[in-house]
Every structure is written in C-alpha cells, then in structure tokens.
Amino acid sequence: MTSKIRRLTLLLALLFLSLAAFFLRRAEEKQTQLPVATGTDARAVHTDADVLPEIEQQVSDAERVLSKMSMDEKIGQLFMIRPDQLKLSLTPLQMHSDEKGVKKVDDDMKETLAAYPAGGFIIFSKNISSGDQLKKLNSALGDASPYATLIAVDEEGGAVTRVATAPGINVPYVTTMREIGGTKDPEKARAAGETIGGYLADYGFNMDFAPDADVDSNPANPVIGNRSFGKDPKLVAEMDAAFLDGLHANGVYGVIKHYPGHGDTKSDTHYGTVKVSKTWEKMEELELIPFLENLDKTDAVMVAHITLTKSEDGLPASISPDAIEHHLRELYGYDGVVVTDAMMMEAIRKHYGSGEAAVMAIEAGADIVLMPYDYVEAFEAVRTAVEKGRISEERLDASVLRILRLKYGR
C-alpha cells in the first residue's frame, strides 16, 4: 500500500469516527432517560436511534445506558423490591406484612433509593387506597430513578389480583384461569390479558407477573389450582401465549411462572421447602411444556423455589445453577430475563440469609432478585461479592444488559 493510500484510509477512518461521535452526542443531548416500552408491542421501543444513521445504531440504547452506570447502579438493576423496603424505619417483618403499606414516596425513601438504587418495584394491595393515589405512587417511583423502572404487580385474574380488589379501584373483574381454560378458546385468554393489561397500563404498571404457566396436574396442590389454565400442558401453553398477546397489546410485559413447574406439588413454598422427585426428562413431558413453548414470546421467566431432588445440585430452582444456567439457558436456549420468585418466602428464608440467597441466585443465572427479606443486606452482599470477585463484572454486566434490553429495546 502506498503512503498516499494509507493517508486516505486514515482520513476516512477518522471521518467515520467523528460522525459516530457526533450522532452519539446528539442523541445523548436529546434524551437522557429513555422510556420504558409502550404501545402495541411491549418489546418495541422507539427512540432517537430510529432516525440516526446506521453507524450510530451499532451501539444499542441498552449498551449506551449500561456504559454510564456506576457499580451500585448496576447492582440495583438486579433487584425488584416493595416500595415499603425503601422505608428503613420499618423492620423487614413490617415491610413484608399485609398491613399499613407505603402509599407515597417521601424524602427518606428517595434517600434510601439514592444509596441503594433498585431497578424495579412490586406493588401490593396494601400500597393502594385509590386510583389517583396509585397513579401518583407509580409515577413517583419511576421518577425517583434516572433510569427506566419496572413497575410490576401480581395480577393474574381470579383470586390473585392486587389491583382489581384494592380500595378505590373500579375495573372489570377477570375470572379464574381455570374457568377460562375450560372454554378451550384462546381468544378468551387473550381478552383476559387485554383487559388486565389495559387497566394496569392506565395505572402506570409496565409488568405483570402473569400468566401462570403451571399445569394443574395435582388435585392436592395448595397453591396453584384454579390459577392454572388446566391439566393439558398444550392447552396451557396456547392459553399462555394468548394471554401474553393481550398484555402486549397494552404495552405491558408478561412473565410466565413458576418455572420449572409448580403444578404437581403438595405443599407451598411460601411456608417451607417443597420437593419434587421427578427427573428433568419427566418434567419435559408435562410441566415444562408451557414454558418451553413460550420462551420466544414471554418477556421474562419467573423461577420457583421448588427443589428438584434429582437435579445435579439439589438446590431450590431459584438458586440452582442446574435449573437456570444449565437447563433454562444452555439446554433450552433462553437468553431473556430471569426473575426469582419472592425471596422472602420461607422456602428460602428458613435456610439462607438475604445476602447469601441473593448472591446464590445471581451465581445460578438469575437476573432479578425479587423481594429479598432484607433488601439492604442483599444489596451489600452482592456488592461485596462483586468487589471480591465471587461475581465477576462480566457476569454482572450480562444480567444488567438483559434487563436494560427489556426496558430500552435492543
């Protein structure tokens, strides 16, 4: 190559980099906080990048946000907590009780969030006194963070509803999934998802921990029952897909639960250890079917605390590398967001501290730790694990990027 050609090549390269830097600066000046997805597709986010040249789009919105985050901000993305957990004058027991919920964001809570940033919040009926109050609470929780925030709720229909049954709320009642599944009409499930997604969006939610993908295969099950669409795993899978479509029509993310399947159990992980003696191969013949058939449609997967006694590590699925990293990610090919079931449940709390449980969940492949019993303890334990190398920065960034891709689009 002649010196003249080399100089020309260098000039072209510098011009390319200058253009890229210019458009990046322009996008950042116009948009410091990107919106959570809204619209007809919960996974479609439209930002300035849509009109920028192709060279700018090589850096995704999620990657740009990640590059600006401090270590604590990254760690905070891994947690979804009750708003009550920002009120450090309360004990953990008070935070998780069904009484006297936090209904507005005060200065003390903002200070806690600044010290221990959280990527998302889950709302319960105790946090609701009226429709206007709920909208203000959800808006304030979102505004308190410089980054897009997940505002979630358990709103399945039937008995598991936090919003529809709360004081001052007037929305259409959605019946049990068992009744809907009994019609064998996916359109009924889609309509249920659309109804729920519609009023959740109106009140400022962007994530619903629904639909339930468990198969109702054990009549003695104390926790699933009519929350499931039925006993036929193929029907459950079809109904789940339709329900997700209904949520997505209103810009609300859906989360299938409780992987790898809580339907064939005789006890409840809210109150203690629940063991399942089936092999993974047996689970794939029934319980896992609705999950595996909807991995490309769901926005996240919630992992249960059930213990598969024949798994390689014998741990509750929510903290099991075999259940999450090996099976869900490697064998089943899922690279989306994984969220644990509530970590204050007795199946975890009786055996693990809040900090150790949070670290183990992330080590196992989970991205979001839901409701640790003691949030500050869990946050500080994850920070220490990163500082000491137990959790690598690469592993931390991998989870944060998955979460940001959900919030900001790819």
Query: What are the residue numbers of the active site?
Result: 270, 341
Kindly give, in sequence order, each residue whose CB lies less than 8 Å from that of residue 190, ignoring residues fewer than 6 positions away. Answer: 242, 243, 245, 246
The C-alpha atoms of residue 310 and residue 235 are separated, in whole angstroms, by 27
Tokens matching residue 122: 């889950």
DSSP 8-class letter at 164: T
Cis amide prior to 83 (ω within 30 degrees) = no
Torsion of CA 257, 290, 319, 401, to 10 degrees: -80
DSSP SS3 for 254:
strand
The C-alpha atoms of residue 36 and residue 207 are separated, in whole angstroms, by 10
Label residue 390 exposed, middle or buried (CB < 10 Å: 0-12, 13-18, 19+).
Answer: middle
Chain-centroid distance of CA 319 in Å reads 16
The C-alpha atoms of residue 377 and residue 383 are separated, in whole angstroms, by 10
* Beta bridge partner(s), residue 254: 208
> Which residue is it, tokens 């689009």?
409
DSSP 8-class letter at 226: G
Annotate 216-243 with b (16+ C-beta within 10 A) or e (fewer): bbbeebebbbbbbbbbbbebbbbbbbbb
Contact criterion met (CB below 8 Å) for 149 and 231: no
Task: For strands 300-303 and 337-340, give the pairing.
Answer: parallel
- Compute φ and ψ for 307, nearest 5 degrees: -105, 115
* Beta bridge partner(s), residue 339: 302, 368
DSSP assignments along 31-55, one per residue: -SSPPPP-SSSTT----GGGGS-HH
DSSP 8-class letter at 16: H
DSSP SS3 for 359:
helix
* Beta bridge partner(s), residue 120: 80, 150
